[in-house]
Amino acid sequence: MFGVNHRVILDMDYKELLKKARANLPVKKGDARFEMPRASVLITGRLTTVKNFSDLAKILRRDAKHVSKYLFKELAVPGDIKGGELVLQGKFSSSVINGKIENYAEEFVYCHECGKPDTVVVKTDRIEQIKCEACGARRPARHI
Ligand SMILES: [Zn+2]
């Protein structure tokens, strides 16, 4: 009986220690960022297609619709998601698209406290927040 309890306590202590050890590690902003894949952009006539759009959204761990809404607003053009590709009704270079996606990640993905991309969107009442799974920080997400 004693042995079991003792082990549980030790286990808890170990986890606490680990937590403290992690918390004391110096966090440099920009560390542990994921490798941002470049958007694969194709311009045909007056349309711009982001070929790997659903993959990009998956890596950002955000709803593709949310990312597309951001791009429509930022680029001031309408568009559609078709079979994992994003079609924008306008001509945009790959550097413009990639720049916007980086801005999106800055605003909606990276934690502003620790700089890690391990965040999720949580909804409380009607307010959406970006919650960091690494450090626990929360901040409101702008409604777009
Ligand atoms: Zn964080």
Quote the pLDDT of residue 27.
Answer: 46
* Displacement of CA 20 from its chain's centroid (Å): 26
Which residues of the chain fall short of a pLDDT of 50?
Answer: 1, 26-30
Which residue, 102, 57, 130, 89, is CA-closest to 143? 130
CA of 135 relative to ligand 1 center, distance in Å: 4
CA of 81 relative to ligand 1 center, distance in Å: 31
CA of 136 relative to ligand 1 center, distance in Å: 6
Q: Which residues, in sequence order, are CB contacts of 117 under 8 Å at separation 6+?
A: 32, 33, 34, 60, 61, 105, 109, 110, 111
Quote the pLDDT of residue 124.
Answer: 83
Quote the pLDDT of residue 28.
Answer: 47
Quote the pLDDT of residue 37.
Answer: 76
Letter string b/e over residues 105-125, b meaning 16 or more CB atoms within 10 A of that residue's CB:
beebbbbeebbbbbbeeeeee
Quote the pLDDT of residue 22.
Answer: 59
Q: What is the mean pLDDT of the chain?
A: 86
Which residue, 84, 83, 138, is CA-closest to 112? 138
